[in-house]
Chain A
Amino acid sequence: MPDDILYATLAELGAMLKQRQVSSQELTKAFLERLEKLGPRYNALAALTAPLAIKQAKEADDSFKRQRVKSPLQGIPFGAKDLLATKGIPTTWGAEPYRTQVFDYDAAVIRKLARAGAVLAAKLAMIQLAGGGGYRYPSASMWGPCKNPWNPGHWSGGSSSGSGAAVAAALVPFAIGSETSGSILTPSSYCGVTGLRPTYGLVSRHGAMALSWTMDKIGPMCRSAEDCGLVLAAISGKDSQDPASAGKSFYYLSDYGRPLSELRIGWSPIDFSERAAEPARPAFQSALEVFRKLGPKMVETSLPPMPYREVTNTIIQAEGSTVFESLIRSDGFDRLADERQKAGLRAGLEMPAKDYLNAMRIRRLIQDKLRNAFSEVDLILSTSTTGPATGIDQPLDRPASSVTGEKRGNADLGPAGNLAGLPAISLPCGFSTAGLPVGVQLVARPFDELVLVALGREFQRQTDWHRRRPPE
């Protein structure tokens, strides 16, 4: 299969399939072969779902023959982070104790993509339990550390590790990841792909492993912002089986309908200078210039000083340890990799209720403050990660304390945005001096994913970072 097809966007693949230039069965076979050959190279593959994929691909081709097209995703293979239940196929949550776990139903997202005619080609590797407890090393996964296709000596990021690597290396045209706090945006930045974290409640969590009931979001990781829009349209919507379902849908529009010059983008100079890792600064600063030239009003903005990280850590620890209490108390618990993660999960069970409740009270104040911030701007722009991917054996140094003081910029945009349930998109924006990708993030108001996709699309019309291909 020519590289141009393997690295094509969903819109391009959809057109080729409709015009019968390629069949879904041919496409699926090509991606299954790549997954089988290259997936293990990056530790990105949890399981191939070949029999299902071949069946779905044939159904898609039969529909194309009858000129029936259910959706722009019909016939296109994808990978799903292995925390999404897939009927009759193991769903391991990236964790050794769950190696043989099989559900007898599909997660809502899997059902919706099947209804859209997409083809499930693989379950993708992830950090065990989506990182609950706080892991120290990229190897906190039953498949080992997921390697970055741009440089396998570096990590792909997590916890949606396999999803990031698989899209970057064109093992699948798109993937589904999840984010509690950083798990879509980080691997998207590190792997040079486009990832979208939807508003909390927009996409059903039914059938997805819970880490934090009040913070988990499921979202697309793709080759472009437009692709993220197409996938989000398929997976969003009301679901009575998710108690947190917002009851809203996302409709992708190719025309935003509002001039970009009317948008106000908040940003902080320090995010693109002192706070950014030096090898990545030129890429981040070029991205800033591209956004300026697109015409929106750039407004210097800093998040109000609040204990974002401490609140995030408390909530995720309390909810995550409760979710996994039976595992923590079982003999199987010690089969997890990463001692720091295990200790974090154990310690979470000791948290007094008042600590969790007070964190949730501060969270309400954080939501109010962010609502006020978004009365002055329509989006906030920052870096998705401060720098490129870390070394595969390097311990992960995640600051536990929120950034305070005059020079805080929007350093805590990640935890802040996740606490408030805000949508975000990560867009590849270039490379570090060592040739590793980096990304910028845009955060919007709740349910304003369309502005993220629209601005991302315009950014990608002016740049070609999303088109670059890692060495094979």
Chain B
Amino acid sequence: MKRPSSRMTRRAFGLLLAASPAAVPQAPLSKEEELRAARERRLQTAQTLAKFDLPAATEPAFTFRA
């Protein structure tokens, strides 16, 4: 069986570039969509940090002194 060529044609490369996110201008998000996205980012960050193995005895990096 003939092996498919690994070379990309210029047409295919052009289509690939056109399809890449950088080539597609994004429509601005509405205020509500931006807030939803911001909340989502905050939640994702929190979920990432929640997976961190934090020893129970670790105190926050600030010190109160009387």
Out of A134, A347, A355, name the residue touching B49 (CB < 8 Å).
Answer: A355
Q: Which residues of A contact B60 (CB under 8 A)?
A: 357, 360-361, 363-364
The B-contacting residues of A in range 245-290, CB under 8 angstroms, are: none
Q: Is the interface of B mostly helix, strand, loop or mixed?
A: helix
Contacts A361-B58, A361-B60 given; does A346 touch B52 at CB 8 Å: no
The yes or no answer to B35 lying at the interface (CB within 8 A) is yes
CB-CB nearest in chain A for B58: A361
CB of A401 within 8 A of chain B?
yes
- Given A313-B45, A317-B42, A347-B38, 10 other A-B residues pairs in contact with their CB atoms under 8 A: A307-B52, A311-B49, A340-B29, A342-B34, A351-B46, A355-B46, A357-B60, A358-B54, A360-B60, A364-B58
A302-360 interface (Cβ within 8 A of B):
307, 310-311, 313-314, 317, 339-340, 342-344, 346-348, 350-351, 355, 357-360
Question: Which B positions have Cβ atoms within 8 angstroms of A?
Answer: 26, 28-29, 31, 34-35, 37-39, 41-42, 44-46, 48-50, 52, 54, 58-62
Count of interface residues, chain A, beta-carbon cutoff 8 Å: 32
Q: Is there an interface contact between A307 and B44, defined as CB atoms closer than 8 Å?
A: no
**Does any Cβ of B come within 8 Å of A299's Cβ?**
no
Jot down 7 A-B pairs with beta carbons below 8 A, ordered by A.
A310-B48, A344-B38, A346-B35, A355-B46, A358-B50, A364-B61, A365-B54
Q: Which of A307, A344, A360, A365 sits near B48, CB closer than 8 Å?
A: A307
**Contacting pair A358 B34 (CB below 8 A):** no
Determine if B42 and A310 form an interchain contact, defined as CB atoms under 8 angstroms apart.
no
Residue of B nearest to A344 (CB): B38
For residue A5, CB closer than 8 A to chain B, the reply is no
**Cβ A340 vs Cβ B34 within 8 A:** yes
